[in-house]
Amino acid sequence: MPRSPFSEHHRFRYLDPAMLASVAGIELAARLLVEGLWASRHHSPLYGYSVEFVDHRNYTFGDELRTIDWRVFGRTDRYYVKRFEMESNMDVTILLDVSGSMGYEPEAKGRLTKLQYGCYLAAGLAYLLLHQQDAPGLVTFDSSIRVFLPPRQSRRHLWAILAELDKAAPGRETGIGAALETLAERLKRRGMVVLVSDCLDETDSLHAGVRKIAAHQHEVLVFQILDSDERHWPFQQPSSFVDLETRQTIEGDPVSLRDGYLRSFQEFMETLGAGFRRSNVHHELLETTTPLEHGLRNYLLRRLALSR
């Protein structure tokens, strides 16, 4: 009986088979020039273009003749095939927000927190990237960078990323702009930076960080994850509202606060989106109520269509 492709991943809670199945065969295509390879070539077979020799194995029927090491054959009178490890077409650094606001727990039972949703997204992207011959990396941050795993293309590195996601927990205040600026200095190879965050931070600082990343010729993609409570303000009963990062508390009647909150939130979203458009950044909004396998698949298909 063939082995399930997911059986070896059971120990990683954020590697979801349903999500992986939904995006199987879809590529996260680059739009920009990535270390000398045009985006239109990103999905092309690259045998012999950029490979590194690893070792030999015995020739088996059906192997291409050009892979036979004829020098070894001359010495041993036996056929051996050269094995190569494909170098990455693209480095993709996933920047995951683990600040306090990402840990918001809605009253509705069974709904994921924003951080849990982001971890599923990051795990799925890392798995997808590795299987399309790209190199995933992971950075987690709150007010500063907490974990830095630079992009690498190996199964062992993927396991390291998944292990860090399993340990992710809400931290302190948010510093998205500072994290982006620090990351811009640490990344040595052009590629893609994927920000996974609720983006609940000062927009001027956030946009400055995005511009810094873009100035280093990285492509920037933002997955903004929000809870439906934040977008629609469903609260009815007098409540205490606690800032998950500063612990500041506001007492009030949510019904009387609703209109003012929704106006402020709409202004924030418009300012955020306008800044992303000016920097040529892809901005995708996902609610935690949206099944991730649907949200990610739909986005990847739209992006792939645009890249063509």
Strand spans (E) along 7-162: 51-58, 80-86, 91-97, 135-141, 145-149
Confidence of residue 109 (pLDDT cuts 50, 70, 90): confident
Check whether 102 has a pLDDT greater than 50.
yes
Check whether 98 has a pLDDT greater than 60.
yes
Rounded to whole angstroms, how far apart are CA atoms 92 and 76?
A: 42
Residue 194: CB atoms within 10 Å: 23
Q: Which residue has the higher pLDDT, 177 or 82?
A: 177
- Of 206, 212, 215, 228, the closest CA to residue 275 belongs to 206
Tell me how far the alpha carbon of residue 19 is from its chain's centroid.
14
Please spell the DSSP secondary structure of 246-298, one letter per residue: T--EEEE-HHHHHHHHHHHHHHHHHHHHHHHHHTT-EEEEEETTS-HHHHHHH
The one-letter amino acid at 105: E
User: Whats the size of the chain, residue-wise?
Assistant: 308
Q: What confidence score (pLDDT) does residue 253 get?
A: 87
Please state which of the ranges 62-66, 113-117, 142-146, 221-225 shows the lowest mean pLDDT: 62-66
Query: Domains in the chain and their CATH numbers?
Result: 7-36+88-307 (3.40.50.410), 51-86 (no CATH)
Residue 146: CB atoms within 10 Å: 17
Confidence of residue 40 (pLDDT cuts 50, 70, 90): very low
Check whether 239 has a pLDDT greater than 80.
no
Q: Which neighbouring-strand residues pair with 82?
A: 56
Token digits of residue 108? 């509705």
Taking the model in full, what pTM does it have? Answer: 0.80
Give yes or no for a contact between 210 and 272, defined as CB atoms under 8 angstroms apart: no
Provide the H-helix boundaries in the chain. Answer: 17-23, 70-76, 114-131, 155-167, 176-186, 203-215, 228-232, 254-278, 292-307
Give yes or no for a contact between 96 and 161, defined as CB atoms under 8 angstroms apart: no
Residue 63: CB atoms within 10 Å: 13
